[in-house]
Amino acid sequence: SNNKVAYFYDMDVSRFHYGPGHPMKPHRLALTHTLVLHYGLHNKMQMFKPYRATSHDMCRFHSEDYINFLQRITPMNLAGFTKNLKLFNVGDDCPVFPGLYDFCSMYTGASLQAATMLNNKKSDIAINWSGGLHHAKKYEASGFCYVNDIVIAILELLKYHPRVLYLDIDVHHGDGVQEAFYLTDRVMTVSFHKYGNYFFPGTGDMYEIGAESGRYYSLNVPLKDGINDQAYQQLLKPIMKAVMQSYQPTCIVMQCGADSLGCDRLGCFNLTIDGHGECVKFMKEFGVPMMVLGGGGYTVRNVARCWTHETSIIVGQEINDELPYNEYFEYFGPDYTLRPDTSRGIENQNTKQYLDQLRQMCLESLKMITHAPSVQMHEVPPDLLSFDNYESLSELDVRERQEDVDQRIEPDNEFYDGEKDNDKESDVSI
Amino acid sequence: FMFPSPTDHHPSPASTTEDQEFELTADAMVHDFDDEATMEEEEEDGDGDDEELDDLAKERDIPLEDLIAMYYGKQENKDVSETEKVKNVLTCDLDQSWRINLGLLHYLTKHEAHIYITYQVEDGSSSDSREQLPKTNENKDSEELKRKLRSNATLLSPTHAESPDEDGDYVPPAPEDWRKDPRVGDEFQVNMIPRCDNQGPDYNIDSDLLVWDPIKINPTKVESYLKEISDISTTGGLPNGCHLRDNEDALFLLSQCNNDTDEAIRQFRWKPRPLSSELQTWSEEECRLFEHGLSLYGKDFHNIHHNKVRTKSIGEIVKFYYIWKKSEHYDKFNAKTRLGKKKDTLHPGVTDYMERLLDETEHSIS
């Protein structure tokens, strides 16, 4: 692999603490970074101590009131802000901890800089494991996220890129990013996530497809508990291949939340580190400039393993399953390996019929994109995309299954036929 | 036929008149109540639902095919295969508890199937703030659906939660309805989508730091450089172990010196810096204060900093904690504080206290 990879890490970002009992642990970033260094992966990429985002940068998406509040709030002056705490949803899930604003500034700065590096073509793939806080909204914090570094980075990318694809494989729906770009076709958001049974955040059913100019440019793949590698790939690969073909993004932003792994403290999927990494590998092989971000992930040792493994995939360096000795070695016992089986525990509640139906719906919905008049299909800088390249690369993985899919689809087509026209206008309103 | 839009499913609680009819006891809120419990609650209300509820209860035992025929019967002649499809959709999703995906539910409404299965809300006191338990209920027609969901919404509405409860002392938390619809408006979307005209970044691009660029230097040269740095810095200090450590600070120094290893080593000798600049040394006293703080405040590092270890920043304390946690100090600390703790972290999973006591005695002897 001869991709130019840029990697962003600020030593200080792992030294924040959300508070006693909170599942989000920035320390996972120190574990990840330590493994990356000890595996020698830095010898395959440029490492940057990232820029720190200013309030001005944050206000490119967020409201000034909200950012102003984040700048001023500390655990010491909470009492004076009770009204604002409620207004901005800061409290339980999103606690005020010492250095909160600096924390946001670090992970957001890294994503923003990653965007600039991609824009200037200084790198092909840019990694920021501290970013990917996909739940943050314009006016409020949500789900452990305060500032939406993804939205801010995509806004930067849009200065150079006519179409940016956002893919989210966190176990939670990428609601903040979807919401921010719900009305535009310049950004297509695709999210694979657990949906139902009160699972956070409660958005992301397959009928959320975008609105106005953005209609059909939000794609949601709601899943049930316990999905395993095989089932996940059988959805992700054909769907993402179709997305790449119909949307033809010039840049990809991928949120790699590691809470979709099995054995996650908050998640309920059953992916292995290999299965999770396979998604990154698959997307990388399209050969489109890509930003790779972190996100959720609450079983700290597995998060570090997962993102280290994915770093190795991105730089194209095979690494030993036996972990190198490092200062956090004890965290990885008793096996001290990179890819222990994380798939234990939960039964896969996604039936074959459900998955087939879901894939069919997504592929149907993607067909609408080709016919959408507002998408600027010809505005593709020629050096960015080479479609032959990714046709051949993904061929082996997908084509066979695609045939399977086509066969299975046939009866379903009948089922949809009479409805198709209906679907457009009198569909359940959103 | 107009299908109810999702927003219709969630009528504003303030506009309803039946809000007071359906009350839930604190007990029911705390415990994992199921369909039956809800039905009992409603029977107590005695507003003539009994028959319907009985029907619903019976329907639990009716075979799926018959059920579909019951509710889907009108179209039976028109399209038998469609009924078959609905059945497929249902069976694929319908396990023990009439659980059905809401997306498919929408789909069913589109087909005018009048089977409605919906989740009901229970209190969000579960320890995991991101996931709560499901509750299922069955509804016969959209009229009833609205009523049920309304009562459901009542539970959730803050106004109701604030009103005096039967028990008075338990005010259930008021989680929002878990299912949310996308929001559209100025408060939600980005203000402006940038034009694609290759304008530069808004921020000062020079403020980032290139720490390390492997392309510009030969790897074996780096290795010998790192070894030399490591040799210099270990004289006098603690040994770093036999393996060669990758030292980010040394790499950064090298890249600052334009990848000139001799220059970097000269600078390093002239002004030695701690190898692992991350972890400054902690005195015995600081360590003792930290442990005391931890026993007092738990993992509230803010308080530990302010009241115990003023000499270290919160960030340094957090970093120290994660190293300390896997050290012998932690084991000792744990052993000391164990008696006061209910949870034994040294022996996870041990519930037999007799065995544990014996274990401990054995340990203290050896």
Q: What is the mean pLDDT of chain A?
A: 88
Mean per-residue pLDDT for B196-202?
Answer: 82
Q: Domains of chain B: which residue ranges?
A: 212-232+246-276, 284-339
Chain B, nearest residue to A224 by Cα: B101
- Higher pLDDT: A155 or B261? It is A155
Mean per-residue pLDDT for A174-178?
Answer: 98
Query: Chain A residues with CB inside 8 Å of B182's CB?
Result: 178-179, 182, 203, 208, 211, 218, 430
Distances (CA, A) of A287 to A249, A281, A429, B198, B259: 11, 10, 37, 21, 31
Residue A233 confidence (pLDDT) above 70: yes
Of the candidate ranges A56-60, A222-226, B108-112, B352-356, the one whose mean pLDDT is the lowest? B108-112
Probe site for chain A from B322, B324, B325, B327 (most A CB atoms < 10 A): B322
Are the beta carbons of A15 and B316 separated by less than 8 Å? yes
Query: Chain B residues with CB inside 8 Å of A27's CB?
Result: 318, 322
Query: Chain A residues with CB inside 8 Å of B314's CB?
Result: 15, 17, 98-99
Contact present, A70 and A81 (Cβ < 8 Å): no
- Whether domain A5-392 has CATH 3.40.800.20: the reply is yes
Are the beta carbons of B183 and A208 separated by less than 8 Å? no
pLDDT band at A192 (very low <50, low <70, confident <90, very high): very high
State the Cα–Cα distance between residues B75 and B81, nearest whole angstrom: 10
Chain B, nearest residue to A6 by Cα: B213
State the Cα–Cα distance between residues B294 and B333, nearest whole angstrom: 10
Q: Is the peptide bond before A201 cis (omega within 30 degrees of 0)?
A: yes
Mean per-residue pLDDT for B201-225?
Answer: 74
Residue B196 confidence (pLDDT) above 50: yes
Are the beta carbons of A47 and B210 separated by less than 8 Å? yes
pLDDT band at B16 (very low <50, low <70, confident <90, very high): very low
pLDDT at B59: 59
- Give the nearest partner residue to B188 out of A46, A138, A184, using CB atoms: A138
- Higher pLDDT: B115 or B347? It is B347
Q: What is the mean pLDDT of chain B?
A: 58
Are the beta carbons of A42 and B180 separated by less than 8 Å? no
Residue A16 confidence (pLDDT) above 50: yes
State the Cα–Cα distance between residues B23 and A214, nearest whole angstrom: 42
Token couple for A49: 């101590």
Q: At what angle do helices A229-247 and A273-284 cross, to 10 degrees?
A: 20
State the Cα–Cα distance between residues A338 and A319, nearest whole angstrom: 9
Mark the binding-site residues of A, compressed into ranges. 93, 143, 170, 172, 259, 298
State the Cα–Cα distance between residues A216 and B89, nearest whole angstrom: 24
Token couple for A222: 């709601």
Contact present, B232 and B272 (Cβ < 8 Å): yes
Residue B56 confidence (pLDDT) above 70: no
State the Cα–Cα distance between residues A110 and A48, nearest whole angstrom: 9
Of the candidate ranges A35-49, A175-189, A286-300, the one whose mean pLDDT is the lowest? A35-49
> Chain A within 8 Å of B58 (Cβ-Cβ)?
no
End-to-end CA distance of chain B: 81
pLDDT digit string (tens) for B232-276? 765 444 444 433 455 677 777 887 787 888 888 887 776 655 444
Query: Chain B residues with CB inside 8 Å of A414's CB?
Result: 81
- Please state which CATH number belongs to domain B284-339: 1.10.10.60
**Residues of A carrying an active site annotation:** 135
One-letter identity of residue B78 = K
- Give the DSSP letter of residue A218: E
> Chain A within 8 Å of B106 (Cβ-Cβ)?
yes
pLDDT at B70: 58
pLDDT band at B144 (very low <50, low <70, confident <90, very high): very low
A&B contacts, CB < 8 Å: 240
- Give the nearest partner residue to B213 out of A46, A57, A207, using CB atoms: A46
pLDDT at B157: 33
pLDDT at A333: 86
pLDDT band at B219 (very low <50, low <70, confident <90, very high): confident
Nearest to A48 by CA among A121, A114, A103, A97: A114
> Which residues, including other chains, have CB under 8 Å from residue B339's CB and lie 6 or more apart?
none
> Chain A within 8 Å of B209 (Cβ-Cβ)?
yes
Token couple for A116: 């600039």
Probe site for chain A from B5, B132, B208, B254 (most A CB atoms < 10 A): B208
Of the candidate ranges A140-154, A242-256, B73-87, the one whose mean pLDDT is the lowest? B73-87
Contact present, A153 and A226 (Cβ < 8 Å): no
- Give the DSSP letter of residue A307: H
One-letter identity of residue B342 = K
Are the beta carbons of A205 and B102 separated by less than 8 Å? yes
Residue A340 confidence (pLDDT) above 90: yes
- Higher pLDDT: B117 or B203? It is B203
State the Cα–Cα distance between residues B154 and B21, nearest whole angstrom: 10
pLDDT band at A4 (very low <50, low <70, confident <90, very high): very high
State the Cα–Cα distance between residues B146 and A412, nearest whole angstrom: 31
pLDDT at B331: 84
Token couple for A276: 């999770």
Q: Domains of chain A: which residue ranges?
A: 5-392
Mean per-residue pLDDT for B61-80?
Answer: 53
Phi, psi of A160 (to 5 degrees): -115, -20
pLDDT digit string (tens) for B151-194? 333 333 333 333 333 333 444 444 556 788 899 999 999 998 99
pLDDT band at B358 (very low <50, low <70, confident <90, very high): low
Residue A166 confidence (pLDDT) above 50: yes
Contact present, A362 and A219 (Cβ < 8 Å): yes
pLDDT at A121: 93
pLDDT at A390: 42
Residues of chain B numbered 169-208 and touching chain A (CB < 8 Å): 176-184, 187-191, 193-205, 207-208
pLDDT at B269: 73
* DSSP letters for A112-157: HHHHHHHHTTS-SEEEETT---TT--SS--BTTBSS-HHHHHHHHH
Q: CA of B273, closest CA in chain A: separation in Å? A: 17
Number of neighbouring beta carbons within 10 Å of residue B120? 17
pLDDT band at A414 (very low <50, low <70, confident <90, very high): very low
State the Cα–Cα distance between residues B107 and B100, nearest whole angstrom: 11
Token couple for A14: 């792992």
Mark the binding-site residues of A for a divalent metal cation, compressed into ranges. 170, 172, 259
Are the beta carbons of A330 and B109 separated by less than 8 Å? no
pLDDT digit string (tens) for A22-35? 999 999 999 999 99
Mean per-residue pLDDT for A260-272?
Answer: 96
Torsion over CA: B19, B21, B22, B23 (sign): positive
Probe site for chain B from A5, A29, A43, A217 (most B CB atoms < 10 A): A43
Mean per-residue pLDDT for B96-107?
Answer: 37
Q: CA of A82, closest CA in chain B: separation in Å? A: 17
> Chain A within 8 Å of B326 (Cβ-Cβ)?
yes
Token couple for A157: 């990318």
Q: CA of B361, closest CA in chain A: separation in Å? A: 26
Secondary structure string (H, E, C) spanning B60-110 = CCCCHHHHHHHHHHHHCCCCHHHHHHHHHHHHHHCCCCCCCCHHHHHHHHH
State the Cα–Cα distance between residues A247 and A259, nearest whole angstrom: 28
Probe site for chain B from A428, A429, A430 (most B CB atoms < 10 A): A428
pLDDT digit string (tens) for A96-131? 999 999 999 999 999 999 999 999 999 999 999 999
* B55 CA to centre of own chain: 39
> Buried b vs exposed e over B240-255: b needs ≥16 C-beta within 10 Å?
eeeeebbbbbbbbbbb
Q: CA of B189, closest CA in chain A: separation in Å? A: 4
Mark the binding-site residues of A for substrate, compressed into ranges. 93, 143, 298
pLDDT at A292: 98
pLDDT band at B202 (very low <50, low <70, confident <90, very high): confident
> Which residues, including other chains, have CB under 8 Å from residue B357's CB and lie 6 or more apart?
none
Phi, psi of A134 (to 5 degrees): -80, -10
